[in-house]
A = this chain, B = another copy of it.
Amino acid sequence: MARVVVDVMPKPEILDPQGQAVANALPRLGFDGIASVRQGKHFELEVADDVDDATLAKIAETFLANPVIEDWVVRRVDA
């Protein structure tokens, strides 16, 4: 078994209402100095050892992310 992490983020030029809401709230909560916040998704997968990188890339692109509006990064991590 291998552990794989996929981070999916709204593309930089795409509106990110969620990140913006967090960024706007922070000063009200008394936290200053946070210039920007973007919010995306974080997936943690446990995959069989024979699942190769190409398959992982495919899963991320076709399913975990929406390429029209999102970017993504796939990483294998040590368990």
Contacts and interface: CB of A to CB of B under 8 A. Distances in A.
Contact of A42 (B9, B34, B59): B9
Copies, count: 2
Interface residues of A, number: 35
Interface of A: 1, 7-9, 19, 22, 25-26, 29, 31-48, 50-51, 55, 58-59, 62-64
Contact of A45 (B34, B62, B63): B34
A45 B37 contact: yes
Contacts of A50: 33
Contacts of A48: 32-35
A42 B8 contact: yes
B25 A63 contact: yes
